[in-house]
Structure 1
């Protein structure tokens, strides 16, 4: 019985998390038109690179880079077609915020199912939500910090060449 709740909770969590991506995109496109959206581009839940390593973000990054997930949002890649760091950062903010919206929505679903179906079922819905929504958002925050460093370096180089 416990195994059934674990498996069904995780699979339900995966499917609800996938649906939350679409809902997150829709709600994010509405939010992006608001004045306060710029403040969302500077969210930083985990600033410590040590803590990022402890929670396994580097393994998650490997999974994203080496599985079909790498084809999901190709606008986030730096390359010959995509050189504008500010535009890449903006796309990262869109992806991060969409995942955060999805995370909150699925968290509400997980709480509901924890109460109605049981704590084990709800916990595994939440585990899937963490993997499918929270970790991608944390990865985007980490990548935005790296992009910000690159932008600062390029601005310093450009300032030095003007002098």
Structure 2
């Protein structure tokens, strides 16, 4: 029980720290040729699987709890907001969380060997909730934005 609670606590702390690490490394990564490839990641393409994973509940939590105050740039406030800029912000957030997920996962594997498997596995619970799920949510939102942009650009091309 001690390893479980300590692992959860350490996992929460390290997940919050990983957000900063993710943003810093992502800022560096943006200047490379690999960033375009990373900006179009799509781990889960089926809406059904997203539902089974509880993305609807997670989305509700982000919208209706203190998490809504974290990244204010990821909001559509007016119907005329530039969706391309919003998509770029979502990409930055997605890749930052993905880097954070890998960062904490490396620590969890190390702690699994040095402290115990329960400690490492319990570190992964907050890591999944605080890093992996936000990555998947951003991917889902980007797919929605992409479909809107395709419809918007398609209707503009048809007009004389």
User: 1: CA distance between counterparts of 2:118 and 2:139?
Assistant: 30
Q: How does 1:110-125 map to 2 (within 5 A)?
A: 110-125=108-123
User: 1: CA distance between counterparts of 2:72 and 2:15?
Assistant: 20
Q: Does 1:127 align with 2:103?
A: no
Measured against aligned partners, the alpha-carbon deviations of 1:12-42 in whole angstroms (never above 9, x if no partner) come to 1000000000010000000011122111111
Gaps of 5+ in 1: none
- In structure 1, the partner of 2:15 is 17
Secondary structure in 1 aligned to 2:78? coil
- In structure 2, the partner of 1:106 is 104
- In structure 2, the partner of 1:138 is 136
Measured against aligned partners, the alpha-carbon deviations of 1:96-132 in whole angstroms (never above 9, x if no partner) come to 0000000001000000111111111100101111111
Answer whether contact 1:6 1:124 (CA < 8 A) is retained. Answer: yes
User: 2: CA distance between counterparts of 1:82 and 1:135?
Assistant: 28
User: 2: CA distance between counterparts of 1:14 and 1:137?
Assistant: 17
TM-score under structure 1 length normalisation:
0.95
Number of residues of Structure 1 aligned to a counterpart in Structure 2: 160
Measured against aligned partners, the alpha-carbon deviations of 1:137-162 in whole angstroms (never above 9, x if no partner) come to 00000000000011011112212222
**Are the structure 2 counterparts of residues 82 and 38 from structure 1 closer, same or farther at C-alpha, using a change threshold of 3 Å?**
farther
**Are the structure 2 counterparts of residues 53 and 81 from structure 1 closer, same or farther at C-alpha, using a change threshold of 3 Å?**
closer
Q: 2:30 aligns with which of 29, 32, 40?
A: 32
RMSD: 1.2
- In structure 2, the partner of 1:92 is 90
Gaps of 5+ in 2: none
Q: 1:152 aligns with which of 146, 150, 157?
A: 150
Runs (4 or more) in structure 1 with deviation over 3 Å come to: none
**Are the structure 2 counterparts of residues 158 and 82 from structure 1 closer, same or farther at C-alpha, using a change threshold of 3 Å?**
closer
Answer whether contact 1:9 1:124 (CA < 8 A) is retained. Answer: yes
User: 2: CA distance between counterparts of 1:107 and 1:35?
Assistant: 25
